[in-house]
Amino acid sequence: MQRRILCLATLLALAPLARAQHVDDNVPITAADRHDVIETLATQLQKRYVFPDVAAKLATTLRARDAGGTYAKDATIAAFGKHLANDMRTLGDDGHFNIHYDPNFNPPTDERPPFPDAAEIARGREEVAERGYGIDSIARLPGNVGYIEVRGFGPTELVADAMSAAMTLLQGTDALIIDLRRNHGGEPNTVAYLMSHFFPVGDQRHLNDIYSRADDSTQQFWTNPNVQPRYSKPVYVLTSSGTFSGGEEFAYDMQTQKRATLVGETTGGGSNPGDIYPIGHGFGAFIPHSRSINPVTHTNWEHVGVKPDIAVPAADAKKVAQVAILKDLVGKATDADRKAELQDALAKVQSGKDDAPVYALRR
């Protein structure tokens, strides 16, 4: 479990080659090294990728492109890595495929790597804390509407308390906006953990299944009966074309469970979880080894993305959700003062104007 915690904490922060490792664009790579990387990649694809038939075709195509000189002009680490990653995603038709580079990449050769030491575990915890446990911001918007932006779903063991604390702060709001427009994924267990806050105690939901090629097994993901607090008010989820992987799962599961209204853009379309595998000379390939199966639809969002209930540009999604929520609250308000407050909040959101904060002492 500890090894999984550290690996997931690190993977949460991984980005594409040029951004993640800040590699000097001018670091050279030889033709022989390029060939070795592609040969190892082809082998890893055939061994790991969740769809063996696709893996075989992709491995053959990459070898043929190497033999035909497709990568001959990629004289640097950065150029080669970017070219290879793009080819994998395009030819393999899977947005999860990626190439990473770290000159110090020294993965364990054992399929079951040893537990990290105390210093490694502490560093993993620091990395998660430095990223706010995946939570970018929390706010109470005008009209008593809650707002939380979740940037990623880190290891449940490390982020669960923070997520529940955030939900405690939002517990008194009359509706909630969950912003996933910049969420690129994370841990399926944590998706289920956060979702558990949105169903009554005793109402356990089967959220998702993940099939793994490695051991031909399927793992089920359910809401957690022990999670507190529970939130029963309306929920709106914001999406963008950049919402990906675990971020998409949260949106998809909330939609299929009829627990949220989705506002924004169709998401990126990546539902196949995976890991980074070594392919030599400091390179690692992210290869999906599993696939999601939703228990309601019996399919997933691969290639097609998650379609919003209210389709608007991502930049407008928050405002559109606020307006929809406030209109609903105005319609349900019975107290005259509360109704006037909500109407004022609605008018300000619609106009794009808001009262400036008052810092002077009010007498």
Q: pLDDT tens for residues 226-262?
A: 999 999 999 999 999 999 999 999 999 999 999 999 9
What is the pLDDT of the chain when averaged over all its residues?
91
pLDDT score of 338: 97
Q: Where are the domains of the chain?
A: 132-274+289-315, 320-351
In angstroms, rounded to a whole number, what is the distance separating the alpha carbons of residues 75 and 239? 38
Closest CA to 97 of 300, 273, 266, 283: 273
Closest CA to 22 of 81, 96, 74, 107: 81
Model confidence at 123, pLDDT cuts 50, 70, 90, reads confident
Say what percent of the chain tops pLDDT 90.
83
**Could you tell me the two tokens for 99?**
């190439």
pLDDT score of 112: 56
Say what percent of the chain tops pLDDT 70.
90
pLDDT digits (tens, 9 = 90+) for 300-343: 999 999 999 999 999 999 999 999 999 999 999 999 999 999 99
| Averaged pLDDT for residues 280-294 | 95
Q: Which amino acid is at 208?
A: N
pLDDT score of 361: 85
Q: What order do you get walking across the sheet with 261-264 strand by strand?
A: 135-141, 145-150, 175-179, 235-239, 261-264, 310-311
Strands of the chain, DSSP E: 98-101, 135-141, 145-150, 175-179, 206-212, 217-222, 235-239, 261-264, 274-280, 283-288, 290-293, 310-311
pLDDT score of 19: 38
| Averaged pLDDT for residues 71-86 | 96
**Could you tell me the two tokens for 169?**
């702060």
pTM > 0.75: yes or no: yes
pLDDT score of 17: 34
Instruction: Specify burial of residue 62 (Cβ count, 10 A radius: 0-12, 13-18, 19+).
Output: buried
Closest CA to 280 of 53, 57, 32: 32
Q: What is the DSSP letter of 82?
A: H
pLDDT digits (tens, 9 = 90+) for 88-99: 999 999 989 999
For 132-274+289-315, which CATH class?
alpha beta
In angstroms, rounded to a whole number, what is the distance separating the alpha carbons of residues 277 and 22? 20
Q: Please list the helix, strand and coil fractions of the chain in percent, rounded to the nearest 5, in that order.
A: 40, 20, 40
Q: Would the pLDDT of 69 be above 90?
A: yes
pLDDT digits (tens, 9 = 90+) for 8-65: 434 433 333 333 445 566 899 999 999 999 999 999 999 999 999 999 999 999 999 9
User: Based on C-alpha coordinates, what's the Rg of the chain?
Assistant: 23
